[in-house]
């Protein structure tokens, strides 16, 4: 889709044959398995499948044109990499949906230098600040890496996970054990992230390493890899 393109549920005329739009979006959803760069556009367009309109179809065709022009892009997994450390980048776009003003959550998970998991999804609740939406994205990322860590544990691999977020406010909330009145409404997500930051992995305890399951770091917005899943791609 075009950068900064705003789509809503009521703009434009309804399609005479909505099944064509639905089939196209279904195929694009399948394509996101190996093309995370179209993840945001596809998740945005999939929200209009119940009543697609002309601008939605035009945007979907634009995504198809982009895919045809970048047919050689995909995922590369290096067999030479022996790094099994998980790194997760979490990001959000606050109040991105013009219809509901819900935010968009995104994360990318790397095993060493290889991208193994990613998501772009509209949040289920409305966040009243960008810090809150960023924190909810962090909680979603934590749930994903816990599943991946359990999978790696079956192979005898256990290392602390590095989490990167570009919101200083969200990092402060995760590190501060004292709740403020304005943060109580997302207290459950706070408990989840804090608990996993303080939990000591049993393998690391045996090795007398005082490292937590998750180590949280700030990353500059320009280096935030998950940002690609919160908005449409630009020309560069």
Q: Does 81 reside within a domain?
A: no
pLDDT tens-digit profile, the chain (236 residues):
677 788 888 888 999 999 999 999 999 999 999 999 999 999 999 999 999 999 999 999 999 999 999 999 889 888 776 788 999 999 999 988 888 999 999 999 999 989 999 999 999 888 888 988 988 888 888 889 889 998 999 989 888 889 898 989 888 877 776 655 556 556 666 666 766 655 543 333 233 323 466 777 788 888 888 888 887 765 55
The domain tally of the chain equals 2
Verify that 189 and 99 share a domain, yes or no: yes
Verify that 161 and 102 share a domain, yes or no: yes
SS3 assignment, position 37: helix
SS3 assignment, position 196: helix
Verify that 59 and 95 share a domain, yes or no: no
User: What pLDDT is stored for residue 211 in this prediction?
Assistant: 46
Verify that 68 and 114 share a domain, yes or no: no
Verify that 61 and 161 share a domain, yes or no: no
Verify that 63 and 97 share a domain, yes or no: no
Verify that 117 and 219 share a domain, yes or no: yes
User: What pLDDT is stored for residue 215 in this prediction?
Assistant: 76
SS3 assignment, position 112: coil
Domain stops at, among 28, 47, 75: 75
Query: What CA–CA distances, in Å, run from 114 to 12, 41, 46, 204?
Result: 41, 23, 27, 24
Q: Does 29 reside within a domain?
A: yes
Alpha helices (runs of H) in the chain, residue ranges in sequence order? 18-31, 39-45, 54-69, 130-153, 168-175, 187-198, 202-206
Verify that 71 and 90 share a domain, yes or no: no
| Entry pTM | 0.82
Give the other-Cβ count within 10 Å of 171's Cβ. Answer: 20
User: What pLDDT is stored for residue 20 in this prediction?
Assistant: 95
Verify that 56 and 128 share a domain, yes or no: no
Range of the domain at 49: 1-75
Q: Does 236 reside within a domain?
A: no
Verify that 94 and 47 share a domain, yes or no: no
User: What pLDDT is stored for residue 232 in this prediction?
Assistant: 75
User: In the structure encoding, which two tokens stand for residue 183, read together?
Assistant: 């943060």
User: What pLDDT is stored for residue 200 in this prediction?
Assistant: 40
User: What pLDDT is stored for residue 179 in this prediction?
Assistant: 55
């Amino acid at each position: 889709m075009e950068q900064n393109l705003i789509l809503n549920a009521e703009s434009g005329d309804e399609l005479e044959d909505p099944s064509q739009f639905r089939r196209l979006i279904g195929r694009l959803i399948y394509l996101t398995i190996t093309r995370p760069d179209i993840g945001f556009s596809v998740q945005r367009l999939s929200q209009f499948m119940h009543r697609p309109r002309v601008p939605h179809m035009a945007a979907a065709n634009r995504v198809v044109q982009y895919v045809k022009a970048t047919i050689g892009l995909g995922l590369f997994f290096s067999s030479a990499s022996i790094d099994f450390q998980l790194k997760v980048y979490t990001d959000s776009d606050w109040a991105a949906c013009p219809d509901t003003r819900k935010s968009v959550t995104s994360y990318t998970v790397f095993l060493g230098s290889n991208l193994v998991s990613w998501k772009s999804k509209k949040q289920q609740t409305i966040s009243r600040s960008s810090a809150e939406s960023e924190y909810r994205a962090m909680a979603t990322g934590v749930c994903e890496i816990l599943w991946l860590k359990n999978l790696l544990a079956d192979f005898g691999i256990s290392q602390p996970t590095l989490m990167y977020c570009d919101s200083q406010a969200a990092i402060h909330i995760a590190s501060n054990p004292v709740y403020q009145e304005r943060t109580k409404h997302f207290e459950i997500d706070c408990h989840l992230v804090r608990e996993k930051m303080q939990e000591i992995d049993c393998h690391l305890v045996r090795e007398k390493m005082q490292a937590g399951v998750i180590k949280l770091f700030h990353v500059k917005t320009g280096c935030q890899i998950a940002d690609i899943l919160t908005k449409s791609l630009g020309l560069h």
